Amino acid sequence: MLWEELREEEFASAIEKSSKLCVLPIGCTEMHGQHLPVGTDSFEVTHVCVEASKREEVVVFPTIRFGNVPFLTSWRGSVRLTVELMQQLLKELCSEIARNGFKKILIVNGHGGNHALLGNFVSSTQHDMKDYVVLYRSDFEYGIYSLAADLREDKEFPALTKEDVDNILDFTANNGIMGHGGVDETSTTMAIRPDLVKLDRMYQVDGMPTHLSDYLRPAGVHNSAASFWYVEQPNHYRGSHPEWANERIGNVLFERRIEMQAEACRLLKMDDRILQWNDERNAKWF
Ligand SMILES: [Zn+2]
């Protein structure tokens, strides 16, 4: 049930089937090295939310394709919106989703740089009395390191070849670097949009961190990744070249992420406490 594909008269039953839950995916438009498209995060989070909604029926709002990427000024293709505008956009979209009859809104985040933005936004929704509740979860927590941990616990992934398994275990045992345009995102993009992945272009720029800002760590002022991202990852690519990335690995990562998202929707659809707490809070408000 994709919001934009529904006809007006279908909304009432869609809201009921969704138990008043609406999923709002958010990604970003930012450079991912030279081998992946700038829409990578938006493509991924959309895929996870849409596929999960086939397993646990829920209405999915159109993806917000812009996110927090303030530092991306030295390369083309990235789109920056101010934090103030993003907060206002989220506020008005949630208000419109609720006005249409959805009382539980789950924002699903596909971009690491959105964490602070979304945390602040969800917190801000508590300021005024509302008849709806906004929650958020990140979609990308299950990556290569999580998969490696599962492999070490002898969990089976029949879709992976022996070579895939060896590559994953070797990479993680050697503390392989990834995080942006690395083996995770390259594999997942190969699984859904292979036409947009240009593996031969990965060598155009380097993905290794510079460590230039490490000296600030002891002072405790290195806690905001965004502040120094452009110094640490000047090519907006973080990872050793993902030469062994492939769609099999991408599909395995997606499978877990889709199931986690479906599970979150199952839980929130059944839940009757969060709206009750909200009502109780509103009743005591003075
Ligand atoms: Zn990304």
17-42 pLDDT per residue, tens = 999 999 999 999 999 999 999 999 99
Q: Is residue 31 part of a domain?
A: yes
Residues 177 and 221 in one domain: yes
Q: What is the pLDDT of residue 236?
A: 92
Give residue 62 CA to ligand 1 midpoint distance, Å.
Answer: 19
Residues 136 and 36 in one domain: yes
Provide the domain count of the chain: 2
Q: Is residue 189 part of a domain?
A: yes
Q: What is the pLDDT of residue 226?
A: 55
Q: What is the pLDDT of residue 214?
A: 87
Q: What is the pLDDT of residue 96?
A: 98
Residues 227 and 107 in one domain: no
| H-helix segments, the chain | 11-17, 40-55, 83-99, 115-124, 144-152, 162-173, 183-192, 225-232, 247-270, 273-283
Give residue 111 CA to ligand 1 midpoint distance, Å.
Answer: 6
Give residue 4 CA to ligand 1 midpoint distance, Å.
Answer: 25
Give residue 79 CA to ligand 1 midpoint distance, Å.
Answer: 14
Q: What is the pLDDT of residue 279?
A: 96
Give residue 103 CA to ligand 1 midpoint distance, Å.
Answer: 30
Give residue 40 CA to ligand 1 midpoint distance, Å.
Answer: 6
Check the CA dihedral 108-78-236-217 and report its sign: negative
Q: What is the pLDDT of residue 153?
A: 97
Residues 107 and 34 in one domain: yes
Residues 56 and 191 in one domain: no
Give residue 189 CA to ligand 1 midpoint distance, Å.
Answer: 10
Contact 22, 58 (CB under 8 A): yes
Contact 186, 36 (CB under 8 A): yes
Residues 136 and 262 in one domain: yes
Range of the structural domain that residue 272 is part of: 3-141+257-279
Regions in the chain scoring below 70 on pLDDT: 223-226
Residues 109 and 215 in one domain: no
Residues 68 and 185 in one domain: no
Q: What is the pLDDT of residue 216?
A: 84
